[in-house]
């Protein structure tokens, strides 16, 4: 790893292992990792990049599989910066680096209801906006009023929610090469203690039903309409199935956990196997929720 001096706070790291930035704790090296510490530094950095440079924005890496061969181009890590969280008139404004759990608790403490479900999303606001993250029957874009975006030239824009097409675990951007910096969330008036109790119960349910003691990326597959991916996987006899260091969690069948000496290839092969078996035994083609980036290893 080579560290390059950039500005006062931000860091540009070369040949940086990405396993330390993903919740699965696997993945090869990125050509460059830019750790943003402020919006102005991020804008300045983007303006230095060639227009052909591939760019990937990353939050907590909680819904991401990075292949063992790593990523060519630049990875921008957001979770250490852009942490502004505040009331803005009738809306709550949260920047991309704010964790979803923190947004949920802030909303409850300010007597706003409707964001409690975000306590169950193990990622940042930027990631939740990018994939319309959700759980327990609610989705991020149900409460979005406006968003702040940035393009590869460092230009920021405020866009209305109506400019985006949000569907189940997918958001269609109005233009390419534009990423989320934050969002304004429209929530109903509520009662703080009631919302905090709801969050506490949601987290207790999550702890009881999900394998939070091992590295994972949350739900591996989207739930088919009218059914649950976990039920289909379990009904196919796959709970506990293992390839290398990757295992279908015995606690929650839609989670793949890293048992220790796991590679990204182990996980990707297990994902393919799960798809094949569920299609064969249940007649359902599972749709992947986890995003896969990077190149295969030459080894």
Catalytically active residues, by annotation: 169, 219, 289
Closest CA to 211 of 168, 160, 161, 249: 249
Closest CA to 175 of 143, 149, 146, 154: 149
Distance (Å, whole) CA 15 – CA 26? 15
3-state secondary structure of 165: strand
Give the strands of the sheet with 178-185, arranged side by side.
Answer: 85-88, 91-95, 178-185, 144-151, 156-160
Residue 4, CA distances (Å) to 14, 15, 32, 34, 233 in order: 8, 11, 10, 10, 46
Distance (Å, whole) CA 1 – CA 4? 10
3-state secondary structure of 188: strand
Distance (Å, whole) CA 115 – CA 118? 6
């Amino acid at each position: 790893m080579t560290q390059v001096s950039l500005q006062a706070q931000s860091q540009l790291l070369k040949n940086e292992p990405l396993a330390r930035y993903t919740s699965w704790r696997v993945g090869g090296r990125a050509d460059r990792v830019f750790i943003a510490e402020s919006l102005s530094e991020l804008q300045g950095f983007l303006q230095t990049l060639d227009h052909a440079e591939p760019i990937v924005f990353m939050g907590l890496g909680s819904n991401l599989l990075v292949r063992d061969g790593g990523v060519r181009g630049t990875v921008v890590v957001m979770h250490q910066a852009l942490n502004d969280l505040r009331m803005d008139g009738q809306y709550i404004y949260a920047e991309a680096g704010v964790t979803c759990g923190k947004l949920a608790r802030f909303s409850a403490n300010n007597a706003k209801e409707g964001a409690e479900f975000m306590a169950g999303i193990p990622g940042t606001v930027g990631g939740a906006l990018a994939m319309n993250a959700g759980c327990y029957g609610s989705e991020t874009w149900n409460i979005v009023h406006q968003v702040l975006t940035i393009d590869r030239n460092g230009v920021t824009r405020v866009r209305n929610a109506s400019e985006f097409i949000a569907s189940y675990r997918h958001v269609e951007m109005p233009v390419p090469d534009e990423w989320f910096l934050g969002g304004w969330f429209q929530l109903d008036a509520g009662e703080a203690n009631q919302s905090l109790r709801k969050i506490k119960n949601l987290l207790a349910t999550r702890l009881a039903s999900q394998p939070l003691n091992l590295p994972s990326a949350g739900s591996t597959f989207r739930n088919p309409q009218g059914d649950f991916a976990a039920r289909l996987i379990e009904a196919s006899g796959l709970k506990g199935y293992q390839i290398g260091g990757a295992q279908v969690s015995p606690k929650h069948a839609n989670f793949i956990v890293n048992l220790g000496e796991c590679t990204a290839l182990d996980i990707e092969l297990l994902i393919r196997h799960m798809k094949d078996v569920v299609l064969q035994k249940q007649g359902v083609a599972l749709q992947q929720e986890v995003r896969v980036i990077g190149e295969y290893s030459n080894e």
